[in-house]
């Protein structure tokens, strides 16, 4: 039995569906059962619980051989934060998995470090360090930004003219990866005992700017410039919102960092390790999303 904490999310859903389709029994930990209605298969068991509650976590972990942590607290419902989910929630999951003698696959971010300007990256680093010091067999999978997540976010900001909103200048090259390819890597890692006690960095085949992704995604088409929230407004948002809307302040601060630090990545090493791992291009991901939308509307 494999537990996927975060099995209702972008990455988790994809992984759970792949595992179940291959006949592997998989348990999904979610705070709200209704978020898992798209995960229907006799191989899937849904368990309600919160990674902030140790007894919920132990109940979900008991009887499993592998625990995949695909949770995060950067944004989302329930008053989550990187400290409470990415650091503390992951510590609780890791400790429960050690007691259950399970292997742990931890989802982290490329660039996680204790001195990173973003809290999320510092909290992922704290979880990584807790895991490396634990008695469990483990693999850490660090990923660059998920294309599907960013495309979703961009589409939500579309105005009446079909233009999307870019937070910041949007001219910094960033590596984006398809969540489906990351799910394929986790599947490989689960089955590969040679990947234990290793940290694997995963990213997509292209580095591109937020502005070019927005232009490719927006209904207005690639020849129309997307709208932008200027860095000065992001700076103000990150300060003004902090006392009463932490999530929005975090998002503004993150947009500023994404606009400035080196977010490029070369997937050559992960490709060399798993040569048949798919690395889908952004244009293929965008075309796939459009096809799915057409089929759903037909
Ligand atoms: N998105 C990216 O660009 C990106 C890049 C690199 C790495 N990652 C990592 O990849 C993993 C998956 O990210 P994603 O974007 O696919 O996530 P997502 O779609 O935003 O979903 C977040 C998941 O976290 C779960 N979760 C949050 N708080 C929880 C809590 N207190 N108790 C139990 N579950 C909780 C949610 O479950 P319920 O709401 O059902 O409870 C949901 O399944 C995360 O570890 C993330 O840090 C993401």
pLDDT in single tens digits along all 298 residues of the chain:
999 999 999 999 999 999 999 999 999 999 999 999 999 999 999 999 999 999 999 999 999 999 999 999 998 899 899 999 999 999 999 999 999 999 999 999 999 999 999 999 999 999 999 999 998 999 999 999 999 999 999 999 999 999 999 999 999 999 999 999 999 999 999 999 999 999 999 999 999 999 999 999 999 999 999 999 999 999 999 999 988 998 999 999 999 999 999 999 999 999 999 999 999 999 999 999 888 888 887 6
Q: How far from the centroid of its chain's Cα atoms is residue 249's Cα?
A: 20
What token pair was written down for 269? 């090493």
Output the furthest CA–CA distance in the chain (Å, rounded): 56
Q: How far is the CA of 71 from the centre of ligand 1 (A)?
A: 4
SS3 content of the chain, % helix, strand, coil (to 5): 45, 15, 40
82 lines ligand 1 (CB under 6 A): no
Which atom of ligand 1 is the closest one to the Cα of 31?
A: 41
Which atom of ligand 1 is the closest one to the Cα of 51?
A: 32
Q: How far is the CA of 124 from the centre of ligand 1 (A)?
A: 12
Pocket test for ligand 1, best of 3, 72, 112 (most atoms within 8 A of CB): 72
Which atom of ligand 1 is the closest one to the Cα of 107?
A: 45
Distance, CA of 30 to CA of 50 (rounded, Å): 7
Please say whether the beta carbons of 143 and 150 come within 8 A.
no
Per-residue confidence (pLDDT) for residue 295, from 0 to 100: 87
Is 195 exposed, middle or buried, given 0-12, 13-18 or 19+ CB atoms closer than 10 A? buried
Per-residue confidence (pLDDT) for residue 192, from 0 to 100: 97
Cβ neighbour number for residue 40 with a 10 Å cutoff: 10
Please say whether the beta carbons of 72 and 86 come within 8 A.
yes
What are 67's strand-pairing partners?
A: 3, 104
Please say whether the beta carbons of 259 and 235 come within 8 A.
no
184 lines ligand 1 (CB under 6 A): no
Which atom of ligand 1 is the closest one to the Cα of 36?
A: 40
Strands (E), the chain: 2-5, 26-30, 44-48, 66-69, 103-109, 138-143, 145-146, 165-167, 174-177, 198-202, 207-208, 227-229
Residue with CA at minimum distance from ligand 1 atom 33: 50
Please say whether the beta carbons of 208 and 173 come within 8 A.
yes
Q: How far is the CA of 5 from the centre of ligand 1 (A)?
A: 8
User: β-strands 207-208, 174-177: how paired?
Assistant: antiparallel
Pocket test for ligand 1, best of 11, 77, 116 (most atoms within 8 A of CB): 11
Compute φ and ψ for 251, nearest 5 degrees: -65, -40
Per-residue confidence (pLDDT) for residue 298, from 0 to 100: 63
Per-residue confidence (pLDDT) for residue 4, from 0 to 100: 98
Residue with CA at minimum distance from ligand 1 atom 18: 9
Distance, CA of 80 to CA of 135 (rounded, Å): 28
Please say whether the beta carbons of 12 and 183 come within 8 A.
no
Please say whether the beta carbons of 110 and 72 come within 8 A.
no
9 lines ligand 1 (CB under 6 A): yes
């Amino acid at each position: 039995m494999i537990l996927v904490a975060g099995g209702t999310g972008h990455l988790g859903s994809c992984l759970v569906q792949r595992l179940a389709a291959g006949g592997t029994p998989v348990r999904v930990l979610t705070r709200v059962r209704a978020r898992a209605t798209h995960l229907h298969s006799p191989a899937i068991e849904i368990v309600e619980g919160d990674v902030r509650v140790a007894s919920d976590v132990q109940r979900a972990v008991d009887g499993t051989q592998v625990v995949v942590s695909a949770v995060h607290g950067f944004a989302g419902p329930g008053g989550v934060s990187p400290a409470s989910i990415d650091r503390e929630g992951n510590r609780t999951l890791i400790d429960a998995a050690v007691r259950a003698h399970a292997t742990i696959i931890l989802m982290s971010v490329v660039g996680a470090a204790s001195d990173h300007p973003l809290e999320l990256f510092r909290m992922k680093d704290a979880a990584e360090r807790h895991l490396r010091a634990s008695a469990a067999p483990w693999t850490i999978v660090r990923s660059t930004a998920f294309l599907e997540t960013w495309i979703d976010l961009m589409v939500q900001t579309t105005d009446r003219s079909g233009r999307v909103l870019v937070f910041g200048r949007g001219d910094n090259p960033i590596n984006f990866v398809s969540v489906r390819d990351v799910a394929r890597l986790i599947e490989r890692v689960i089955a590969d005992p040679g990947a234990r006690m290793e940290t694997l960095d995963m990213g997509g085949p292209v580095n591109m700017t937020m502005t070019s992704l927005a232009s490719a995604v927006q209904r207005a088409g690639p020849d129309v410039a997307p709208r932008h929230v200027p860095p000065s407004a992001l700076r103000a948002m990150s300060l003004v919102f902090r006392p009463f809307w932490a999530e929005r302040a975090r998002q503004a601060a993150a947009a500023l960092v994404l606009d400035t630090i080196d977010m490029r990545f070369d997937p050559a090493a992960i490709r060399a390790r798993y040569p048949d791992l798919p690395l889908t291009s952004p244009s293929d991901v965008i075309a796939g999303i459009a096809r799915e939308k057409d089929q759903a509307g037909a």
